């Protein structure tokens, strides 16, 4: 199984309104609720690709119960969340159907108590031993130490399990120094880590800081992967219009599924780019249509190779 870690889980609520205007009341035309937080998005996409997934993280309160009820209805995803005293945060997206624009309201979420963090660590150490790969995704909730991802990376490496890290800021800086197998920063996260806005230079710098492989996501420009053997560029067939929320999470799911299936880099990157473009195109943020994905995957251009590092 693939283990996903979502320390900052959320119940994602999406409201649709015809047109959003301040100082007026709105009739909601559609409302959806689903388990959220980056690692849970990754888990859902991996399960849709046919992988068995165990989802670790935190959940609490009535919102946490709703999240878990919905997770129970997601085939292929096993709930290994640690129950906490505080209530899981909600994120509220209001979609203006006229413009397509989304207004996002994110609750900060409950602080994690030291005993809850310890309970998580014990569970994680146990789960890692039966995992084929680990994904550590998203921001840290209040109460979790800033070096948390560095610790989780070290535990996975000690168990000999490949680990991918997708976060930002200081947790990313410390996590990279713990030598993860893969990091997947976007251009902003990479620039913040390295001080460079030039993707190839920044990617090489991130490797020097400890990451074995860096897969930089460049928005509509696709992916740049650099490891000890070489470098590869994968470009989507076209810039697509839609909601890019969760595109990075779909890219992570594509990379990890390709890793455990031992796909060579070109196939792995083509999958990641096609999945994320299909996610941008899907009407619901973070979802994708399988047919759209299958059409796109053969149209992704991958260049580079083992000697081009």
Please, which residue, 155 or 279, has the CB nearer to ligand ATP?
279
Please, which residue, 82 or 256, has the CB nearer to Mg ion?
256
What's the alpha-carbon Rg for the chain, to the nearest Å? Answer: 19
- Minimal distance in Å, beta carbon 166 to ligand ATP? 7
Binding mask 146-185 for Mg ion (x = CB under 5 A): ----------------------------------------
- Distance (Å, whole) CA 94 – CA 244: 15
- Distance (Å, whole) CA 41 – CA 252: 10
- Minimal distance in Å, beta carbon 225 to ligand ATP? 11
4 binds, among Mg ion, ligand ATP, none (CB under 5 to 8 A by kind): none
Please, which residue, 143 or 219, has the CB nearer to Mg ion?
219
Q: Which stretch binds Mg ion (CB under 5 A): 17-25, 56-64, 186-194, 229-237?
A: 186-194
Please, which residue, 13 or 277, has the CB nearer to ligand ATP?
277
Please say whether the dihedral angle defined by the alpha carbons of residues 305, 201, 286 and 173, taken in this order, is positive or negative. Answer: positive
- Minimal distance in Å, beta carbon 244 to Mg ion? 6
- Distance (Å, whole) CA 140 – CA 129: 23
- Minimal distance in Å, beta carbon 203 to ligand ATP? 13
**Residue where the block lists tokens 């999406």:** 14
Buried b / exposed e over 24-49, threshold 16 CB at 10 Å, is eeeeeeeeeebbbbbbbbbbbbbbbb
Contact criterion met (CB below 8 Å) for 128 and 112 = no
Strand partners, 31: 15
Please, which residue, 172 or 251, has the CB nearer to ligand ATP?
251
Please, which residue, 77 or 281, has the CB nearer to ligand ATP?
281
Of 69, 249, 289, 298, catalytic: 249
Shortest-Cβ-distance residue relative to ligand ATP: 248
- Distance (Å, whole) CA 75 – CA 55: 12
Binding-site ranges for ligand ATP (CB under 6 A): 186, 217-220, 222-223, 236, 239-240, 244-249, 251, 273, 276-277, 280
- Distance (Å, whole) CA 52 – CA 232: 28
Q: State the virtual CA torsion across 164, 35, 151, 191 in degrees, nearest 10.
A: 60
Buried b / exposed e over 54-65, threshold 16 CB at 10 Å, is bbbbbbbbebbe
Binding mask 244-263 for Mg ion (x = CB under 5 A): ----x---------------
The yes-or-no answer on residue 249 being catalytic is: yes
240 binds, among ligand ATP, Mg ion, none (CB under 5 to 8 A by kind): ligand ATP
- Minimal distance in Å, beta carbon 187 to Mg ion? 8
* Residues binding Mg ion (CB under 5 A): 186, 248
* Residues annotated as part of the active site: 249
């Amino acid at each position: 199984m693939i283990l996903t870690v979502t320390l900052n889980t959320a119940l994602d609520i999406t409201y649709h309104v015809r047109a959003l205007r301040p100082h007026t009341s709105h009739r909601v035309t559609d409302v959806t609720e689903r388990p959220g937080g980056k690692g849970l998005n990754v888990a859902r996409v991996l399960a849709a690709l046919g992988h068995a997934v165990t989802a670790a993280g935190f959940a609490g309160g009535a919102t946490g119960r709703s999240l878990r009820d919905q997770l129970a209805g997601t085939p292929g995803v096993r709930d290994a969340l640690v129950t906490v005293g505080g209530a899981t945060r909600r994120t509220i997206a209001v979609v203006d159907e006229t413009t397509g624009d989304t207004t996002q309201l994110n609750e900060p979420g409950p602080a994690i108590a030291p005993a809850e963090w310890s309970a998580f660590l014990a569970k994680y150490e146990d789960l890692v031993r039966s995992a084929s790969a680990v994904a550590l995704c998203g921001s840290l909730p209040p109460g979790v130490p800033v070096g948390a991802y560095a610790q989780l990376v070290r535990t996975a490496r000690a168990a000999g399990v490949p680990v991918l890290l997708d976060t930002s800021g200081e947790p990313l800086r410390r996590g990279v120094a713990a030598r993860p197998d893969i990091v997947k920063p976007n251009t902003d996260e990479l620039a913040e880590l390295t001080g460079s806005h030039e993707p190839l230079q920044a990617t090489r710098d991130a490797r020097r800081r400890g990451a074995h492989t860096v897969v930089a996501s460049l928005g509509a420009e696709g992916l740049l992967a650099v490891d000890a053997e070489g470098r590869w560029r994968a470009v989507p067939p076209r810039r697509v219009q839609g909601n890019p929320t969760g595109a990075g999470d779909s890219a992570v799911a594509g990379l990890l599924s390709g890793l455990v299936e031992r796909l060579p880099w070109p196939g792995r990157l083509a999958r990641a780019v096609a999945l994320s473009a299909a996610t941008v195109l899907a009407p619901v943020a973070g979802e994708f249509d399988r047919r759209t994905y299958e059409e796109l995957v053969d149209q992704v251009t991958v260049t580079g190779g083992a000697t081009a590092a």
